[in-house]
Amino acid sequence: MATRCQFLFAACAIVSGFTQLLAAPQKSVPPSASRPASLAATSSAPAPNAARILLLPRRMVSGERATLAVLDVSGRLTPGAAVTFSNGDHLKTDATGRALFVAPLNPGVLWSSIDGRPGRVSTMILTPVEASASSLEISAAPRIASLTDRFEILGKGFCGDADANQVDIAGHGALVLASSPIALTVLPPMELEPGPATVAVSCAKKDAPAFSTTFVELELKADSSPLKRGEHRTLTVSAHGTAEKISLEARNLAPDVAELVGGNPARRLSSGGEEENIAQFEVVGKKDGTFLISIRLVPTMTRPERTS
């Protein structure tokens, strides 16, 4: 069965940023992607200790509002997750799995991490002068993006409060996960189909010129049974929605069980083509067991062209 998210190979795999078990496909995204205000915590919300992924705007503005988000391994927004910044600040995500805060006054690199988890995420703090704009401007966006993975939009004049931004893709409301006046992290709407789509961004009664991005659906074809020691297995990813060659990246999340041929991470360029646009990865069993490989589209950021 085709999957429309990151393939999670629990003997399976993942594609993009939001995870889906092949054995029981379902989107691991908030219940209402078009209405962020409805993301209140429920009995099925992840526990704070499930936090794994920190989404921070790539750039922020000194002294201005910004929004971050924390996800679990399945890509679900995680309430109550504790985050610590390198300047000593601390915060916790609210019931929506996000947190609104004010960026530090000192420009430069700021690091942040989820409490109790390895790894750090960096962001650049710019001065208000560097980020000033009289209108809403978009300087960079992906030319090709995944249907089910988050993507970034860079520019000026956005709202630091994620819910104050409106991002419409092909007429459907998208979810803004993280934001600052100069960067947005967006999850495409569930109703979106593969192919080119018009993206419109607005904030505080300001509208940016609409632009086009091609959204692709990634389909994994592979044997999901446990791997045997010494066994070679091929993972084939098909891209639907574009005939262009696209870059895909695989990461081995269980290196004790399997080796990912080509290194970790490994990148492949798809074949391109109207009939079949595929890329293949190979794993080799190091011991009997369940392997875990994540595969995602690597977006190329460009200055978007206005739609007519």
Per-residue pLDDT tens listing for the chain (308 residues) = 333 334 443 333 333 333 322 222 223 333 332 233 333 334 478 899 889 899 999 999 999 999 999 998 888 899 999 999 999 999 999 999 999 999 999 999 999 999 999 889 999 999 999 999 889 999 999 999 999 899 999 999 999 999 999 999 999 999 999 999 999 999 999 999 999 999 999 998 999 999 999 999 999 888 888 899 999 999 999 999 999 999 999 989 889 999 999 999 999 999 999 889 999 999 999 999 988 888 899 989 999 887 76
SS3 of 18, please?
A: coil
Rounded Cα distance between 120 and 104, Å, is 17
Length of the chain: 308
C-alpha radius of gyration, the chain, whole number: 19
Q: What topology does CATH give the domain 6-26+217-297? A: Immunoglobulin-like (2.60.40)
Q: Strand 258-260 relative to strand 278-285: parallel, antiparallel, unpaired? A: antiparallel
pTM: 0.82
SS3 of 162, please?
A: helix
Task: Please report, for residues 33, 174, 218, 285, the alpha-carbon distance to residue 267 in angstroms, rounded to integers and kept in the order given.
Answer: 30, 28, 15, 19
On whether the CB atoms of residues 196 and 213 are closer than 8 A, the answer is yes
Rounded Cα distance between 191 and 240, Å, is 16
Using the Cα atoms of residue 242, residue 243, residue 244 and residue 247 in order, give the sign of their dihedral. Answer: positive
* Residue 121 structure tokens: 């995420």
> Which regions of the chain carry the CATH code 2.60.40.10?
136-215
Helices (H), the chain: 128-131
Is domain 36-128 given the CATH code 2.50.20 in the classification? no
Amino acid 29: pLDDT: 34
- Tokens 């007519």 identify what position? 308
By C-alpha distance, which of 82, 91, 97, 104 is closest to 41?
97
Rounded Cα distance between 155 and 186, Å, is 14
Which residues lie below 8 Å from residue 195, measured CB to CB, with a gap of 6+?
214, 215, 241, 242
Rounded Cα distance between 188 and 18, Å, is 11
Rounded Cα distance between 93 and 77, Å, is 9
- Tokens 């990912």 identify what position? 260
By C-alpha distance, which of 47, 18, 185, 48 is closest to 115?
48
Neighbours of 162 (CB within 10 A): 28
* Residue 188 structure tokens: 């495409």
The CATH code of the domain at 136-215 is: 2.60.40.10
Rounded Cα distance between 282 and 227, Å, is 12
